[in-house]
Amino acid sequence: MLYSKAHNLIFGHYPKTAGTSMLEWFQRVFPDALVLDQRNYHLDLRAGLRRLHLWNRQRMNPFHHKPRVIGVVREPFEMLVSLYEFWQRCPNHPDPSCEIVNASRNYNFKAFLKLATDGHQVPRYEDFFALSHPGQSTVRLIDFDNLEAGLREALDTLDIDVDISLRRTNCSPSKRTDLSEYVEEAGPLMLDVHRYFAWYYTDGVRLMASGKGSPRLTVSYRPAFRTFARGIARPRAA
């Protein structure tokens, strides 16, 4: 997480949502940017605000000083695939005992997915960005698939006029992963992903800035959800 006091602006870095590119951009355009924890760039908003002494429990208003917040959200299943592949190919992690990281290296994708959702090892977007609290109006979420246009739209709503050119870094070797094999392996766990990240599919797609003036939802495997749902509702005959 980064904080610019001069612009009263926070960038919340959710894993595998173009965060490395956004961190580089934020530090370039806001020279006073402060990294809140050098050991953990993925602090959630509550933890970051506590570091800044802006989480006011006594007044029951966690955004007492109203910092503006930007963050990027990504289609959850695609994000989980990216996270799984990233931890598989990256040998180092600050916490070698991290259960979800070890699962990505020692078990199959299905086991990783189960731990991420049923085990709550990967945070929901609404929890990470503290969207259930009164200060949620200060948070601007950006569509991963329309990053620069969404960033421009989000900053315009905050009256911040800065350069938005982003340098893509930390991408997967193939740039865009074919999800079809992962969808097949996940099987009915696709429904668990949809339930766990329900906020994204209902509210998130309406709220995120995409630069298009209207919400966007392009989930290439969405028919799979209907197929699994029909199979659960109407079991096959023996």
pLDDT digits 0-9 by tens, 93-134: 656 668 888 888 888 999 999 999 999 999 999 999 988 765
Given the structure tokens 């698939």, which residue do they identify? 145
Quickly count: other Cβ atoms within 10 Å of residue 202's Cβ. 9
Q: What's the rounded Cα separation, in Å, for the pair 58 and 67?
A: 18
In a domain, 113, yes or no: no
Range(s) of the domain holding residue 168: 2-75+124-175+197-233
Q: What does the block give as tokens for 134?
A: 């009164």
In a domain, 165, yes or no: yes
Could you tell me the CA-to-CA distances from 157 to 139, 141, 162 in Å, in that order? 11, 11, 13
In a domain, 169, yes or no: yes
124-180 per-position pLDDT tens digit: 999 999 887 654 568 999 999 999 999 999 999 999 999 999 887 655 444 567 899
Number of domains in the chain: 1
CA angle 193, 196, 200 (to 5 degrees): 90
Per the prediction, the chain carries an average pLDDT of: 81
> What pLDDT band is residue 49 in, cutting at 50, 70 and 90?
confident
In a domain, 160, yes or no: yes
Q: What's the rounded Cα separation, in Å, for the pair 209 and 217?
A: 12
In a domain, 136, yes or no: yes
Q: Measured between alpha carbons, how far apart are the two ends of the chain, in Å?
A: 54
In a domain, 117, yes or no: no
Q: What does the block give as tokens for 12?
A: 């919340």
- Please say whether the dihedral angle defined by the alpha carbons of residues 164, 33, 74 and 136, taken in this order, is positive or negative: negative
In a domain, 157, yes or no: yes
In a domain, 87, yes or no: no
Residues 6+ apart with CB under 8 A from 139: 45, 69, 70, 71, 129, 130, 131
Mean pLDDT for 59-67 is 56
> What's the pLDDT at 96?
63
